Amino acid sequence: MSGAEPGREAAVAGGWELVVGLEVHVELSTATKLFCGCANRFGDEPNTNVCPVCLGLPGSLPVVNAAAVDFAMRLGRALGCEVRPAVFARKNYFYPDMPKDYQISQYDQPTSIDGSLELAGGHVVGIERAHIEEDTGKTTHVGGGGRIHDAAYALVDYNRAGVPLVEIVSRPDIRTAEQARAYVRELRAILLSIGVSDARMEEGSMRVDANVSVRPAGSGELRTRCEIKNLSSLRSLGRAITYEARRHVDLWSSGERPRQETRHWDEAQGRTTPGRSKEDAEDYRYFQDPDLVPLSPSAEQVAAIDAALPALPAARRAELLAAGAGAVSASDAALLVERDQDALVRAAVAVGADPGLTATRVSNDLAVDDWSRVTPDGLAALIAMETSGRVTATQAKQVLAEMVEAGDDPVAIAERRGFQAMAGDDLAATVDQVIAGNPDEWQRFCSGDDADRKKLAGFFIGQVMRATRGRADGAAVNRLLQERAEPA
């Protein structure tokens, strides 16, 4: 995936550059909604978590959830933003997903402004703002059946109405579809590490809209953009950006220009289609909500949030790479941090395990939900057995799998399973026996070209494995074969 970067090819090939900014809505994992005590819970029976406030009944008044504000400020600081005094505003529109006929949001005075996010690859994307707002209800369109006079209707569930959201608006600093995906992945990793959201795109607790435009490469101008909605996966995000960029390049190249509009991504058709928003739909007539007083975080409050922030993914990757002293790959580091296994690897390395092999073994062979029984000492002992040749790579994987289940000492597991060092002399003797038993193959191995040699090496290693019941180290067998074919 990462090698192709279709967005870059599409937009840059003809001298065009892709310009993307992302708006990400994140549901905060508070116990209750933003302005009332109804449970904030996904998947409940429709309209069971509703009250006069989130139904917008006359006379009800909103009261801000302190935890939602705390989460939003934590997120702001994790994104390097200035967290500042903020005012809630009403965004007015008529749509049945919002029973009050306005959504409470923050407009010209948001909680967080001016931050940045560094992607795993090092590219930095600016954050314009991150503001608090309430989620809307969920509408489900029913019926229609293609016939215009069919009794089509919509169903509305207000369980989600009033759930706290933070909308994170990036600057248009994203230049490829792959960077857009990396941005969302990194944002998700940050959200998970600071514990403010479960950030599940497929459940809608993290929703991404992409503002896409193109410009002549290197020009620095900002041309007409389209906002792409309905992106429910990273795959959709990448495909939609690539499609939209190509559409813009085609329009500009043929002397036309894109219209500024909202477009919907159609995953099945693989294209974007214009939304049907009316021309005056953008007139939301924002004004300060008279029912809510401003938020005014003190310097002490912000300092306390900073002090309590955990190490963020970018810092953890850097720490792991430093601990690996060049032996841990960037992709392993990203994966290990994403899986929360970086501390385990660093602890094993700290007690003497080989960094490169530890990172590889854990990233390849510890992709399980519960690895709590694997201790740094146990892992280091296993890696030591593998580096010293006491167990083969295959055996090490089997031992690790048993450590996950039983949490035993790897030495004990290896002994119980009969994995033990095959003395070098024993292995050499076995290799010689196999060669003697297959003279034709050996002749072809010695005289053949590289391809033959590779194929036949596989054959001989297989024979040796069979003779040793899997206890031989494949790499060692190969070394012995090469030595015997070309005596020094």
Structure tokens at 278: 């009316």
Which of 1, 4, 13, 31 is in the footprint of another protein by CB under 8 A?
31
Angle, vertex CA 42, rays to CA 40 and CA 44, nearest 5? 95
Nearer to another protein, 33 or 175 (CB): 33
The DSSP code for 135 is P
Stretch that binds another protein, among 275-283, 330-338, 438-446, 448-456 (CB under 8 A): 275-283
Distance CA 394, CA 474 (A): 9
- Measuring CA to CA, how many Å separate 186 from each of 117, 138, 306, 318, 337? 8, 27, 19, 14, 11
Cβ of residue 291: shortest distance to another protein, in angstroms? 10
Interface with another protein, residue 281, by CB under 8 A: yes
Nearer to another protein, 284 or 459 (CB): 284
Cβ of residue 53: shortest distance to another protein, in angstroms? 10
H or E segment at 17? strand 16-27
Nearer to another protein, 66 or 488 (CB): 66
Cβ of residue 232: shortest distance to another protein, in angstroms? 15
Contact pattern from residue 316 through residue 355 relative to another protein, giving x for each residue in contact according to CB under 8 A and a dash for the rest: ----------------------------------------
Q: Within a 13 Å sphere around the CA of 381, how many CA atoms are in the beta-carbon half? A: 16
Site for another protein in 111-170 (CB under 8 A): 136, 139-142, 144, 152-158
The sign of the dihedral angle between the CA atoms of 412, 416, 421, 425 is: positive
Site for another protein in 219-248 (CB under 8 A): 229
Angle, vertex CA 276, rays to CA 274 and CA 277, nearest 5? 115
Distance CA 234, CA 242 (A): 12
Nearer to another protein, 69 or 201 (CB): 69
Nearer to another protein, 275 or 448 (CB): 275
Structure tokens at 25: 């809505």
Site for another protein in 56-85 (CB under 8 A): 63-69, 85
- Amino acid, single-letter form, for residue 68: A
Cβ neighbours of residue 153 under 8 Å, at least 6 residues apart? 142, 143
Nearer to another protein, 69 or 120 (CB): 69
Interface with another protein, residue 487, by CB under 8 A: no
Which of 4, 13, 82, 96 is in the footprint of another protein by CB under 8 A?
96
Stretch that binds another protein, among 191-199, 206-214, 278-286, 451-459 (CB under 8 A): 278-286
Backbone angles phi, psi at 25, to 5 degrees: -95, 130
Interface with another protein, residue 92, by CB under 8 A: yes
* Residue 481, burial from CB neighbour count under 10 angstroms (0-12, 13-18, 19+): buried
Interface with another protein, residue 272, by CB under 8 A: no
Distance CA 56, CA 93 (A): 14
Distance CA 362, CA 345 (A): 8
Interface with another protein, residue 273, by CB under 8 A: no
Stretch that binds another protein, among 3-11, 279-287, 396-404, 432-440 (CB under 8 A): 279-287
Which of 60, 262, 329, 375 is in the footprint of another protein by CB under 8 A?
262
Give the 3-state secondary structure of residue 268. coil
Nearer to another protein, 33 or 77 (CB): 33
- Amino acid, single-letter form, for residue 55: L
Interface with another protein, residue 280, by CB under 8 A: yes
Structure tokens at 416: 């119980």
Locus of tokens 């505003």 = 89
Which of 221, 268, 269, 285 is in the footprint of another protein by CB under 8 A?
285
Q: DSSP string spanning 186-243? A: HHHHHHHHHTS----TTTTSEEEEEEEEEEETT-------EEEEEE-SHHHHHHHHHH
- Amino acid, single-letter form, for residue 478: N
Cβ of residue 108: shortest distance to another protein, in angstroms? 11
Nearer to another protein, 87 or 401 (CB): 87
Cβ of residue 273: shortest distance to another protein, in angstroms? 11
Size of the site for another protein (CB under 8 A): 66
Q: Which residues bind to another protein, rule: CB under 8 A?
A: 30-32, 36-39, 45-52, 55, 63-69, 85, 87, 91-97, 136, 139-142, 144, 152-158, 229, 262, 264, 275-278, 280-285, 288, 290, 292-297
